[in-house]
Amino acid sequence: MTDSTASRAMTRRAGIADVAALAGVSPGTVSKALNGRGSLREETRARVRAAADELGFSPSTVARSLLSGRTFTVGIITTDSYGRFSIPVMRGVEDSLGVGEMDAFLCDSRDDPIRERHHLRKLLDRQVDGIIVAGRRTDARRPLSDDLPVPVVYAFARSTDPQDCSVVSDERGAARLAIEHLVKTGRRRIAHITGPQSHASARERAAGAAEALAEFGLELAGDPLFGGWTEVWGRFAAAQLLRSVPDIDGVFCGNDVVARGVADGLRESGLNLPEQVGLVGTDNWAVLAEAARPPLTTVDLGLEEIGRRAGDLLLAAIDGNPAPGTHVVHGHLVVRES
């Protein structure tokens, strides 16, 4: 009650000087008391703390930054507009940074180099302590700039410069997980349907699938079918596949969208899943995978983990312990019913 009238007029943020005045000490003493530095009588500390509490004081991050040269802030540049992939990555980054009491500036470059330079400039003007670049495709991208005053970590889309610090998913390992699952559930005639050959992820997963099959003494049933990352392509490809390789009993798909199309395509051609054909997707896009018929078994690439690792590596680099090079995060299989 007593302060409801007072707080209604809350105009100015309390500064350290206000606390000093209220506690009857000097600003320097307040600083020491609140930061646990110097040597002060416990009674003084308590008095200062009380005064600070009463005024709702907390120190200005801006002033601190000016003094320390650090802002406890990092920039996240996403190349796409926070899509399917950058979002979990960002959540992971935030997770990691939150622990270090850092905040993140969000910048969306929309795949436009001009915009990217603009954001980079703004971030440097703001003296961010570091930068994370989150891509939406696994294809390597050219580095931000070769001479930056702060550390940079590339997440999901690696930098073309192997010296840069990048965190990527284990594409071939993901394919291996899928193939292993199919083989272990008794499939022998396994086909691969995926996205555009121009995408590194499509090429890598196809190569990984072939490798893994070879280790089981098997080979892919027919050539990998490259197309688009769409359900329409998946349905179309499923029909085509049944024409060219009618005796398949397993399909590994380059992503869940395609897998879902394939599931519908196969089912509507009269095949029972998973009895007659086993199906594994990639991405673990939950809404999609759960609604598929049957619910889709798929490889989770560990995007959040990529984000967390990227955040951790950035924090380490900021603290003077850079870990250059490419760091690989392994995914895991999410078994549903397909």
Partner DNA sequence: GTGAAAGCGCTAACAT
Partner DNA sequence: ATGTTAGCGCTTTCAC
Q: Write out the residues near DNA by the rule CB under 7 A.
A: 15-17, 24-32, 34-35, 37-41, 43-44, 57, 59-60, 63-64, 66-67, 69
Q: What is the smallest separation between the CB atom of 213 and a copy of itself, expressed in angstroms?
A: 29
Position 93, amino acid: V
Cβ of residue 299: shortest distance to a copy of itself, in angstroms? Answer: 19
In single-letter form, the type of residue at position 159 comes to S
Selection from a copy of itself, DNA, none that 236 binds (CB < 5 to 8 A by kind) is none
On whether the CB atoms of residues 135 and 90 are closer than 8 A, the answer is no
- Cβ atoms within 10 A of the Cβ of 143, count? 16
Q: What is the dihedral of CA 154, 160, 161, 162, to 10 degrees?
A: 80
Distance, CA of 6 to chain centre = 45
Least gap, CB of 304 to a copy of itself (angstroms): 10
Question: Quick one: what does residue 26 bind among DNA, a copy of itself, none, with the CB cut-off 5 to 8 Å set by partner type?
Answer: DNA
Q: Say which entry of a copy of itself, DNA, none residue 24 contacts (CB below 5 to 8 A, set by partner kind).
A: DNA
34 binds, among a copy of itself, DNA, none (CB under 5 to 8 A by kind): DNA
Residue with smaller CB distance to a copy of itself, 187 or 267: 267
CB of 338: closest distance to DNA in angstroms? 56
Query: CA 26 to CA 40: how far, in whole Å?
Result: 12
H or E segment and range at residue 200? helix 200-215
Q: CB neighbours of 298 closer than 8 A, spacing ≥ 6? A: 256, 259, 280, 281, 282, 283, 284, 285, 289, 333, 334, 336
Report the partner that residue 160 touches, choosing among a copy of itself, DNA, none (CB closer than 5 to 8 A by kind): none
Q: Are strands 130-134 and 152-155 parallel, antiparallel or unpaired?
A: parallel
CB 282 within 8 A of CB 178: yes
Binding site for a copy of itself (CB under 8 A): 7-8, 10-11, 13, 58-63, 65-66, 71, 76, 81-82, 87, 90-91, 94, 101, 103-108, 121-122, 124-127, 147, 149, 230-232, 257, 260-261, 287, 290-291
Closest to a copy of itself by CB, 64 vs 184, is 64
Q: Which H/E stretch holds residue 294?
A: none
Locate 155 and state its tokens. Answer: 């997440």
Query: Among DNA, a copy of itself, none, what binds residue 273 when CB lies within 5 to 8 Å by partner kind?
Result: none
Q: At closest approach, how far in Å is the CB of 21 from DNA?
A: 11
Helix, strand or coil, per DSSP, at residue 73:
strand
Nearer to a copy of itself, 176 or 199 (CB): 199
